[in-house]
């Protein structure tokens, strides 16, 4: 028996029309160096239509890829909406990747057009000669007219001013009927080993993911909200916050390039967001800034901070809550999962100190996502919160393959192998203890680097800490703790070791310690532990014992 329901496509075009026709009073506010600029969702829809016409005139007539080389701002949102809705494919280029990686992904995706922010023209100009398929560059932003446009004219590439093209185009566009299973957008993994791998999101997956981000257990978005995506729109589609906001009618407040703590806090005071999303590094810096500026208050309007990208220390969540009244919730996912797959809210009835067991983990699975833990042989392990294995996931917004890249090692029987190691309990809560490549095996026992890092970052003198395994003749591997101290702190390894001993088994305590100025990071803000291992192997670290 078939249902009587209409076949209604789940597409980005539907989100665009809904935002324009139902939530035209919503707005996108973009930060500038010294003020704000704003346009309504109704105006965004008109500009998206004009952009679609402009791209058609440049030869984007099918599913060609349109790259964006942009910050979080109104023009980037216009591309987010226009490109998929016209049947083309949005390709967000991660400006923080190494040059050779950016060259690889632009050529691998076969980008035909790139939209670039005026401030990023010098960076793109250095890369553009290596982009083999790009034919047109659109320069966007308030200062586009004063950018060095000639630097982009290389190898026959045609350069256009974004606003000039839009001004010359019609204000309405006949949006085509797009198959919901067709490609809408693509992102590439950060490529910590080998070349980055392309993940292609469908219209359907993006629509369903947007609904999941809007759920009460995730962002709880309504048209009364003002959403601040600090996480870049070139990183896993800003965790879906842009599409979810247009879908729900929540206004978007965009930080553009102003991502340091001082301008970010100033922008928050002006734009008054109710929800934000960013990696822990950003909120560590914001916390330090708030501690130093007691007159700056955010809790009266900022009801929720979604945090992820790497493990979120409980100490950071507690400090923001206790000292500044801010509620942070950890979310987990990957580029391959669109990315949000679970959210760390405690079960009903769990309060007080009992919350932190759940809030410190990766959270409860969202509807539409399934997970399992498997052992070394690939056999599913019990969902008891104790059995440790590799996390595998599948679901409505989880990729089943990489673009033009057969990587069978990453997929098993329809499940995505995440490369994360941890536990899964009977209520669907994930607790990750490490990346598979970062687990420390010492004397036949496993030591979680994440557990050690979180415990270290609870020390009041520690800004950040990263732990890696280093070779040991007797035990195979032992932990090396690399520590970033807060400004003015002088704590010694022995003191930190004693502090750790309060919450960590003594056999797991690091034997080797080093203090560094900053933890190296990948292009998406995660700790880059391979760099730390290389520093150690090359003798670049000043290492002390735990009794020093």
Known catalytic residues are 189, 336, 441, 446
248-300-243 Cα angle (round to 5): 20
Q: Which two tokens stand for residue 355?
A: 């919350």
Q: Do the domains 440-545 and 319-435 match in fold?
A: no
How far apart (Å, rounded) are the C-alpha atoms in residues 380 and 135? 49
d(CA 202, CA 205): 5
Strand partners, 328: 305
Q: Which of 367, 360, 371, 369 is nearest to 424 (CA)?
A: 371
- The reported pLDDT for the residue numbered 207 is 98
Question: At the topology level of CATH, where does 319-435 sit?
Answer: Luciferase; domain 3 (2.30.38)
Query: CB neighbours of 289 closer than 8 A, spacing ≥ 6?
Result: 261, 262, 265, 296
Whole-number Å distance between alpha carbons of 298 and 287: 11
The CA distance from 502 to 505, in Å, is: 8
List average pLDDT for each run of 10 residues in the chain, which is 548 residues long: 97 98 98 96 98 98 98 98 98 94 97 98 98 98 96 96 98 98 94 80 98 98 98 94 98 97 97 96 94 95 95 94 98 96 98 95 98 94 96 98 88 95 97 86 83 92 94 90 93 94 91 94 84 93 82
Q: How is residue 365 annotated by DSSP?
A: E
Neighbours of 531 (CB within 10 A): 16
Residue 388 Rama label (left phi>0; alpha psi -120 to 50; beta): beta
**Residue ranges per domain, the chain?**
12-278, 319-435, 440-545
Block residue for tokens 């032992």: 478
d(CA 315, CA 392): 28
DSSP assigned state of 486: P
Q: How far is CA 71 from the centre of its chain?
A: 14
Cα 497 to Cα 507: distance, rounded to the nearest angstrom: 11
Query: Strand ranges (DSSP E) for 268-408?
Result: 275-278, 304-307, 328-333, 340-343, 363-365, 369-374, 389-395
Round to whole Å and give the CA distance between 260 and 267.
Answer: 11
Residue 191: predicted pLDDT: 55
**440-545 has which CATH code?**
3.30.300.30
3-state secondary structure of 419: strand
At 287-307, the pLDDT tens digits run 999 999 999 999 999 999 999
CATH of domain 12-278: 3.40.50.12780
- pLDDT of 192 reads 52
The number of beta carbons lying within 10 Å of the beta carbon of residue 190 is: 21
Distance (Å, whole) CA 457 – CA 542: 20
Asked whether the beta carbons of 230 and 254 are under 8 A apart, the reply is no
- Model pLDDT, residue 469: 93
For residue 327 the two structure tokens come to 């509620």
Phi, psi at 243, each rounded to 5°: -65, -40
- Here the tokens at position 379 are 């056999």
């Amino acid at each position: 028996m078939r249902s009587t329901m209409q076949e209604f496509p789940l597409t980005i075009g539907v989100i665009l029309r809904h935002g324009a026709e139902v939530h035209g009073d919503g707005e996108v506010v973009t930060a500038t160096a010294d003020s704000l600029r704003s346009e309504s969702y109704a105006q965004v829809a008109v500009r998206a239509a004009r952009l679609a016409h402009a791209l058609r005139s440049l030869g984007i007539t099918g599913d060609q890829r349109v790259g964006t080389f942009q910050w979080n701002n109104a023009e980037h949102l216009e591309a987010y909406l226009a490109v998929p809705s016209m049947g083309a494919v949005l390709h967000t280029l991660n400006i923080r990747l190494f040059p050779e990686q950016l060259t690889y992904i632009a050529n691998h995706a076969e980008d035909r057009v790139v939209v670039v922010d005026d401030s990023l023209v010098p960076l793109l100009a250095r890369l553009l000669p290596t982009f083999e398929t790009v034919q047109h560059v659109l320069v966007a932003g308030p200062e586009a007219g004063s950018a060095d446009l000639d630097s982009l004219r290389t190898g026959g590439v045609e350069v256009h001013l974004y606003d000039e093209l839009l001004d010359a185009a019609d204000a309405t566009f006949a949006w085509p009927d797009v198959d919901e299973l067709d490609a809408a957008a693509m992102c590439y993994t950060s490529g910590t080993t080998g070349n980055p791998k392309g993940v292609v999101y469908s219209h359907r997956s993006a629509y369903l993911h947007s609904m999941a981000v809007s759920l009460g257990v995730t962002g709880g978005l309504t048209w009364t909200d003002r959403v601040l995506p600090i996480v870049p729109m070139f990183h896993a589609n800003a965790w879906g916050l842009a599409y979810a906001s247009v879908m729900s009618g929540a206004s978007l407040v965009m930080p553009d390039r102003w991502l340091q703590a001082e301008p970010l806090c100033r922008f928050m005071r002006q734009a008054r967001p109710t929800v934000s999303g960013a990696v822990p590094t950003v909120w560590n810096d914001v916390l330090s800034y708030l501690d130093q500026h007691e007159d700056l208050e955010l809790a009266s309007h900022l009801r929720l901070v979604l945090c992820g990208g790497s493990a979120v220390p409980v100490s950071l969540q507690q400090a923001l809550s206790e000292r500044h009244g801010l509620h942070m919730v950890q979310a987990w996912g990957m580029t391959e999962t669109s990315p949000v797959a679970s959210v760390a809210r405690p079960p009903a009835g769990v309060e007080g100190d009992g919350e932190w067991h759940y809030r410190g983990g990766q959270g409860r699975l969202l509807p539409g996502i399934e997970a399992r833990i498997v052992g070394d042989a690939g056999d599913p392990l019990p969902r008891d919160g104790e059995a440790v294995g590799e996390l595998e996931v599948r679901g409505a917004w989880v990729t089943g393959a990489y673009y033009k890249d057969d990587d069978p090692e990453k997929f098993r029987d329809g499940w995505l192998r995440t490369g994360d190691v941890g536990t899964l309990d009977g209520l669907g809560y994930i607790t990750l203890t490490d990346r598979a490549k970062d687990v420390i095996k010492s004397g036949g026992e496993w030591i979680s680097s994440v557990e050690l890092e979180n415990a270290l970052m609870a020390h009041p003198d520690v800004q950040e800490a990263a732990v890696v395994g280093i070779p040991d003749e007797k035990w195979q591997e032992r932990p090396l703790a690399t520590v970033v101290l807060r400004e003015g702190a002088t704590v010694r390894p022995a003191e930190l070791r004693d502090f750790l001993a309060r919450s960590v088994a003594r056999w797991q305590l690091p034997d080797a310690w080093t203090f560094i100025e900053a933890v190296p990071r990948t292009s998406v803000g995660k700790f880059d532990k391979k760099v730390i291992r290389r520093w150690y192997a090359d003798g670049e670290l000043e290492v002390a014992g735990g009794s020093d």
